[in-house]
Amino acid sequence: MAGDKRTPVTVIGLGSMGRALADAFIEAGHPTTVWNRTPGKAAPLVAKGAVRAKDVEAAVAASPLVITCLTTFEDTRRVLEPAAAALPGRALVTLNSGSPADARETDAWATGHGVRFLAGAVKNVPSAVGARDTLLYYSGDKTVFDEYETALRVLGGDTVHLGDETDLAALYEMAVGAMLLPALVGFFQGAAAVQARGLEVSSMVRFAGKWLDMIKSLLPVYATEIDRGDYTDAASSVNLFLAGEAHDEELAKETNVDIAWLAPLYDVVKRAAEAGHGDHSVAALTEVLRRPEQTA
């Protein structure tokens, strides 16, 4: 049977994301062992063919490829510690969020336990796991990535190895993820304003989507400006953004929507203008965000 050739995989941590990961492996025919602190969460996966390990050591011992999806790196280290005897020689792939420093600490921990370590990140929601364009990135031991790439691609077709430095996946995860909260709070502010007029929020979704498309189209332009440190070709200037503050305040008054979250953002815009970037491209805000002591 083709399934017999598939890499046995262990998934530790069966929260929303971990369950989706285990589900994808089961669907793809991988012999899948699962373990979770709260054992009941394994039940639907066991019903689909997964094996529930009696403890974390048995879970690690069951497969050459161990995927963890716990809340933090610290949780991961703590949960795996009792399985220390089973860890040497196995490939450990973490798929939790966390800082680059925490990824480096986990790398040192893994090295100390004889584990081959790849740190990964899922850049999507659980329901997208397994889809062709779902992005996951990995960094660290390339031999682990090469050996298990086929299995890892089961989780998402856009699977990327960023480099040998273990903390790169965490760095990119956080760098890209930084856009999420401001973008969503902006959408929620707009939603509240539209609702204040008695309109359905659904009515703005198409337009908000086009707005995000426009922002997406600008990212390569801004990235080039920032990489070159040249902001002089300003299609949208810092001063233009500064002028928007009064409009936001008027709308907030009219719709009774709290826009206090915008004040620190306008503070960045003001500081850029004060630093002489008023007529420069709005990408010059990066110069204000970069603390002086961190410049080369």
Ligand X SMILES: NC(=O)c1ccc[n+]([C@@H]2O[C@H](COP(=O)([O-])OP(=O)(O)OC[C@H]3O[C@@H](n4cnc5c(N)ncnc54)[C@H](OP(=O)(O)O)[C@@H]3O)[C@@H](O)[C@H]2O)c1
- Site residues for ligand X per CB under 6 A: 13-18, 36-38, 41, 69-71, 75, 78-79, 96-97, 122, 125-126
Listed in sequence order, the residues at least 6 apart from 78 whose beta carbon sits closer than 8 Å to its beta carbon are none
Of the two residues 156 and 190, which places its CB atom closer to ligand X in the complex?
156
* Nearest CB to ligand X, comparing residues 18 and 100: 18
Q: What's the closest the beta carbon of residue 27 comes to ligand X, in angstroms?
A: 18
Q: Which is nearer to ligand X, 134 or 237 (CB)?
A: 134
- DSSP secondary structure string for all residues of 231-268: --S-SSBHHHHHHHHHHHHHHHHHHT---GGGHHHHHH
Nearer to ligand X, 5 or 132 (CB): 132
Which tokens in the block code for residue 195? 């609702």
Minimum separation from the CB atom of position 125 to ligand X (A): 4
Which residue's Cβ has the minimum distance to ligand X?
15
Q: How far is the CB of 13 from ligand X (least distance, A)?
A: 4
- Nearest to ligand X of 50, 259 (CB atom): 50
Least distance CB 273 / ligand X (angstroms): 36
Nearby residues of 293 by Cβ (< 8 Å), 6 or more positions away: none
End-to-end, the C-alpha distance of the chain in Å comes to: 57
CB of residue 20 vs ligand X: minimum separation in angstroms?
8
Q: In the complex with ligand X, which residue's Cβ is closer, 56 or 285? A: 56
Instruction: Tell me which residue of 94, 90, 88, 87 sits closest to 67, measured CA to CA.
Output: 94
Q: Which is nearer to ligand X, 38 or 202 (CB)?
A: 38
Element (H, E) at 218: helix 205-228
Q: How far apart are CA 116 and CA 90, in angstroms?
A: 6
CA dist., res. 273 & res. 245, Å (int): 14
Q: d(Cα 121, Cα 94) in Å, to the nearest integer?
A: 8
Query: Edge-to-edge strands of the sheet including 32-35?
Result: 51-52, 32-35, 9-12, 65-68, 91-94, 116-122, 135-140, 158-161
The least CB distance from residue 40 to ligand X, in Å, is 9
Q: How far is the CB of 39 from ligand X (least distance, A)?
A: 8
Are the beta carbons of 113 and 88 closer than 8 angstroms? yes
